[in-house]
Structure 1
Amino acid sequence: MSAQTLEITRLGGQGDGIADTPAGQVFVPFTLPGDVVNVAMDKGRATLMAVLEPSPDRVTPPCPHFGPDFENAGCGGCALQHQADEAYRAWKRGLVVAALESRNIDAKVGALVSTAPGTRRRVVFAARRTDKGAILGFNKASSHQIVKIETCVIASPRINQALPELRRLATTVAVGKEAFRFSVLDALPGLDIAIDAPFKLKEPERLRIISATRAEPSVARLSFNDEILIEKQPPELNFGSVVVNPPPGGFVQASNAAELVMGDLVCGHLGKSKRVVDLFSGSGTFALRLAQNSHVHAVEADGPALNALDRAARRAHGLKPVTVEKRDLFRRPLMLAELKAYQGLVFDPPRAGAEVQVGDIARSTVKRIAAVSCNPTTLARDLEILIKGGYKALSVTPIDQFLWSSHVEVVALLERPKR
């Protein structure tokens, strides 16, 4: 291990500072452009030892678990709590701009829409059994080491207040030696906990977990490897005016505040379309909002999520017709003939994007499209296909759903011009 003094010139795509050296680029976590730092080099990896000259954009991070200067630091969840807000917002918006420029896409990128600390409703912890009980926290960056968390400045107040309960439950669940995922959703009327573990439970262990969960007042439901062990009350989410009971561990947007912005953008663009198709619909984040004004066909491969959407639509009053279809859009995308029925379309695929599906959309007559993504790189690829097919990108809005991380949500609105 050797010590070096480096000057950081820019940020990389994951939020690490970059220094240019005769041996090439060196990435240094927890640094900023303008920092002069002392680092320890070990096999090409740099660890920040001291900030000799701080960047003018350096601020005090709000979380005690952030950065290399704190005990048990570097939980891996946040990358840029130490950067001033204006510079941080410019960097995150720049991730979207750079992704579009890499595909030669000329589109108006709006200002970054912010979300506040303490508004994250979905948090995925890591947990593992130890000699002193279970440790509950987040994986340290680029490591399987779990950093114990006493507080999380991005998580909702209810999740933070329930951390002692969550640790007790993790201790009860940790019957195997392997680490496991401990997902927590802040829903109504309580927390929805979904555990994904590489070990199985014996019947006495199941009974202990059920008994322990019954004693914790903040928990509404607990599931283990997709099996509901106890449900005191069905968890609820509001998608517009419609109440949905999400499936255990099902995908939902991480921040309710971000979801509201995304819903407004999508509905504002597609709201006048008589018939809309929602691809990768999940439990109905957009479909149930759009059904206030449009006949909606929701397509999703996840059966439990689609069932939740269908049940919610059937219970709701005042909606236009909502139909559902279980379909793997990666293997069997909607074809050109099927798309002819729709004037509006929204798609929100996983991080891999929807390359095969947008190939058919690009040749369709669908008038308006809303493209939603948490990955600007794959979104830019998909937008390029649509634009080459004749669509025009009207706007691109970056949304900071994943505060202080390198991830950014994006909503792009497109229209096929009249011939």
Structure 2
Amino acid sequence: MSERELTIAELGHRGDGVAMTENGPVFVAGALPGETVRTQVENGRAKNPVFQTRSADRVEPACRHFDSCGGCSVQHLAETPYLDWKRKLVEKALRDRGIETAVSETVAATSGGRRRAVLTATRAGRHTLLGYHEKASHRLVDISECPVLEPAIVQALPGLKSLASEILPKKGELRLTVLNTTAGLDVAIDKADRNYDRKIPVLSQKTVELDLARLSVNGEVLLEIRPPVLDMDGIGVVAAPGGFTQATKSAEETLCRLVLEGIGKAKTVADLFAGAGTFALRLAKHSNVHAVEGDAAAIAALDRALRKPQGLKKVTFEKRDLFRRPLVLGELEPFDAVVFDPPRAGAQAQSELLASSKVKTIVAVSCNPATLARDLRLLLDGGYALQSVTPVDQFQYAPHIEVVAVLTRE
């Protein structure tokens, strides 16, 4: 296998450099546009590339683990071209669906602002590893720092590793979902050893020593010292163990601002895939809201939050699988505006019905530009017009991007 020299033309959607050749694209990990490398090529990927030239946009990575850890892919790119790359990811996804529209500049993330982390723990001989998987590998990187996480989580890493070591299965991995709340860290452990109940006393002791707000194992709350409360614009919501939460507080506030601006003066709003009420509780300060969510724990969290007087407009809610049972036309009719924020799979079934509805304003929020573009195509074909598309960089240094799109019925 002979070496060849390649020039990087662009960044791919996962953060790899892409060189165009007569045999198709070649992906070069860690390379930036404009750089040249000498490398062997196997199955469309560069093997052990040697850099011949370096881009002026290359910067020193913020983390010692960057070269091996798969948690981040583009720490080596300067901020301005990095944010532009994220915007272009959204533009390309829209173009692939035949949507030509202006996309706003990317709203930057807050460095070190990730309040939710999903970590993996496993055995390595007599030692415990805690961290993220290597790039394109099942091997685990034992992290001692992480520039994207809030300091409270980073400081707790040694204690979390000790906690995980008590209930690691003999084979395989366990997962720790760590959320920093106003009351401290909320830790939910999944895939623990099935006999973990024997370790409840030591787990409880470590929970107290680490000053965790709550510890859950395999779906069971073992100890709650303080309710792990999330502040949603002055309204306290007790997070469901391991439940979905916007990854950073600053991005959550930006998304909510864009949603509120998008619905304008709508008096009645449906909040679909509502979670624990991230948008619904803020919307209800100005509008009557009907929240729909398929996860029982999230709906229960919203219900508990609403039991305290909050000075809100009318809020109703229902547990409903919107993938199987989207709101039909008769159910959509009362609403001036609809907000939807589905998982990565998108909201195809609901978008098909919205496209035939008379709802005046739709605000679509998504963490997946490809499925968002598919859903927007349905709405545009149904007579809606795009008013704005705004990327929000909630996942710093990763290839993921949040997007808020506002549409109105002509």
Bucket of the pairwise TM-score, normalised by the shorter protein: over 0.9
- Superposed CA offset, 1:234-254 (max 9, x none): 101011221100100000000
Amino acid in the other structure paired with 1:266: V
Q: What TM-score do you get using the length of structure 1 for normalisation?
A: 0.94
- Structure 2, unmatched stretches of 5+, are none
Task: Find the aligned partners of 2:172 and 2:253 in 1 and give their Cα distance.
Answer: 37
Note if 1:63 corresponds to 2:57. Answer: no
Unmatched 5+ stretches in structure 1: 68-73
Q: Take 1:377 and 1:233, find their aligned partners in 2: how far apart are those partners?
A: 40
Paired residue type of 2:51: V
Matches within 5 A, 1:96-245: 96-197=90-191, 199-217=193-211, 219-245=212-238
Residue type matched to 1:53 in 2?
A: T
In structure 1, give the amino acid aligned to 2:130.
L
The structural deviation recorded for 1:353 is 0.4
Paired with 2:346 and 2:113, the residues of 1 have a C-alpha distance of 26
User: Is the 2:26–2:41 Cα contact (8 Å) retained in structure 1?
Assistant: no
Which of 396, 400, 404 in structure 2 is aligned with 1:403? 396
Deviation at 1:206, TM superposition (A): 3.0
Cα 1:3–1:171 change in 2 (3 A) is farther
**1:182 is matched by which residue type in structure 2?**
L
Query: 2:3, 2:243 → 1: CA distance?
Result: 46
Q: In structure 1, give the amino acid aligned to 2:194.
A: K
Q: Indicate conservation of the 8 Å contact 1:107/1:394, yes or no.
A: no
Secondary structure class of the residue paired with 2:38: strand
1:190-213 CA distance string (max 9 Å, x none): 101111216413431233322222
1:236/1:244 contact within 8 Å kept: yes
Count of matched residue pairs? 410
- CA offsets per residue over residues 346-372 of structure 1, 9 Å max, x none? 000010100011111111111111100
Please give the alpha-carbon distance, in whole angstroms, between the structure 2 residues aligned to 1:128 and 1:83: 31
Could you tell which deviates more after superposition, 204-213 or 360-369?
204-213
Give per-residue Cα distances to partners, 1:89-133, cap 9 Å, x unaligned. Answer: 111100011111112223331110001210011111111022233
Counterpart residue number, 2:361: 368
* 1:87 aligns to 2:98 (yes or no): no
Q: Distance in 2 between matches of 1:202 and 1:77?
A: 28
Report if aligned partners of 1:122, 1:186 keep a CA contact under 8 Å in 2.
yes
C-alpha distance 145-309 of structure 1, shift in aligned 2 (>3 A): same
Question: Identical aligned pairs, as a percentage?
Answer: 48
The match for 1:17 is 17
Which whole-Å CA distance do the structure 2 matches of 1:344 and 1:23 have between them? 49
Alignment pair present for 1:272 and 2:265: yes
- Whichever residue aligns with residue 201 of structure 1, its letter is N
Change (3 A) 1:210 1:133: farther
Question: Which residue number corresponds to residue 248 of structure 1?
Answer: 241
Partner of 1:352: 345
TM-aligned CA distance change 1:249 to 1:202, over 3 Å: closer
Alignment of 1:326-345 (within 5 A): 326-345=319-338
Task: For residue 52 of structure 1, report the CA deviation from its aligned partner.
Answer: 2.1
- Report if the CA contact (8 A) 2:25-2:44 is conserved: no
Deviates more, 1:246-255 or 1:77-86: 77-86
Q: What CA distance in whole angstroms lies between the structure 2 residues aligned with 1:191 and 1:237?
A: 11
Q: Supply the distance in 2 between the matched residues of 1:263 and 1:316 (Cα, whole angstroms).
A: 21
Runs of 4+ in structure 1 off by over 4 angstroms are: 1-4, 40-44
Contact 2:232 2:281 in 1 (8 A): yes
Deviation at 1:42, TM superposition (A): 5.0
Q: 1:75 to 1:214 in 2, by over 3 A?
A: same
Instruction: Tell me the residue number matched to 1:71.
Output: none
Pick closer, same or farther for the CA change 1:176–1:115 going to 2, 3 Å.
Answer: same
CA-CA distance at 1:61 after TM superposition: 1.0
Q: C-alpha displacement at 1:408, in angstroms?
A: 0.4
Mapped partners of 1:40, 1:225: distance in 2? 46
Work out whether residues 192 and 217 of structure 2, in 8 Å CA contact, stay in contact via their aligned partners in 1.
Answer: no
Secondary structure at 1:120 match in 2: coil
Name the aligned partner's letter for residue 13 of structure 1.
H
Q: Deviations over 1:385-404 (max 9, x none)?
A: 11111111100000010111
Q: Distance in 2 between matches of 1:344 and 1:35?
A: 47
Label 1:318 to 1:383 Cα distance change in 2 as closer, same or farther (>3 A).
Answer: same
* Contact 1:28/1:48 (8 A) holds in 2: no
2:310 corresponding residue in structure 1: 317
Q: How far apart in 2 are the matches of 1:176 and 1:377?
A: 39
How far did 1:405 drift? 1.0
- 1:294 pairs with 2:287: yes
The answer to whether the Cα contact below 8 Å between 1:126 and 1:182 also exists between their aligned partners in 2 is yes
**3-state SS of 2:213 partner:** strand
Counterparts of 1:202 and 1:147 in 2: how far apart (Å)?
25
- Give the whole-Å Cα distance in 2 for the aligned partners of 1:356 and 1:131: 48
